[in-house]
Amino acid sequence: MIQVIQGDITQLSVDAIVNAANSSLLGGGGVDGAIHRAAGPELLEACRALNGCSTGDAKLTKGYRLPARFVIHAVGPIWRGGYLDEPGLLASCYRRALEIATEQGLHTIAFPNISTGVYGFPKEKACEIAIDTVQSYLTNETTSIRQVTFVCFDEENYQLYGQKLAETD
């Protein structure tokens, strides 16, 4: 089951929230900053031990002070015009997050709108890639995941996700 809500992902009591991280995994602004503030300093310590993460990939930590049990740190691409495999890399980081959740036997996972903030990925295209990748994963793979929540912070993304999910229902 796929749902969309508008709000702050740090408040969610799900098995894992996904972070829109950068390849250093050492924190930043946007949703990454919010997650580190809410999780507490143990999260940064855990991230340091991971030695970074490639674009299009994801890595797991515990959730520490968050209501979520785990954080899956996914690194989306910086949009540079669309000719450097940005769509493929965005799909890849959604898929890697789902694979990690499956490896851990998790049931519920929440995603922010990866790459659509400071990384500048066009929102409509990112929304299509996110929904298509999640739908295809849930249809084609054996997984423990029962619920995927897209957490939109801004109104524009919330509208886009609502429309696209209504079309594909």
Site residues (CB under 6 A) for ligand AR6?
Answer: 8-10, 20-22, 28-32, 34, 76, 112-119, 151, 153-154, 157
By the 8 A CB rule, do 151 and 7 touch?
Answer: yes
Q: Which is nearer to ligand AR6, 93 or 141 (CB)?
A: 93
- Burial pattern 11-20, b for ≥16 Cβ within 10 A else e, equals ebebbbbbbb
Which of 8, 15, 32, 132 is labelled catalytic?
32
**What's the token pair of residue 118?**
């400071």
Query: Smallest distance from the beta carbon of 141 to ligand AR6, in angstroms?
Result: 24
Q: Which is nearer to ligand AR6, 20 or 98 (CB)?
A: 20
Number of helices and strands in the chain (H, E): 5, 6
Query: Smallest distance from the beta carbon of 154 to ligand AR6, in angstroms?
Result: 5
Query: Smallest distance from the beta carbon of 43 to ligand AR6, in angstroms?
Result: 13
| Residue listed under structure tokens 């619920």 | 147
CA angle in degrees (0–180, nearest 5) for 73-65-111:
35
Query: Smallest distance from the beta carbon of 107 to ligand AR6, in angstroms?
Result: 20
Q: Which is nearer to ligand AR6, 10 or 92 (CB)?
A: 10
Has 8 been annotated as catalytic? no
Q: In sequence order, what DSSP letters do the residues of 93-130 get, joined into one string?
A: HHHHHHHHHHHTT--EEEE--TTSSTT---HHHHHHHH
Q: Which is nearer to ligand AR6, 33 or 105 (CB)?
A: 33
Q: Which residues are part of the catalytic machinery?
A: 32
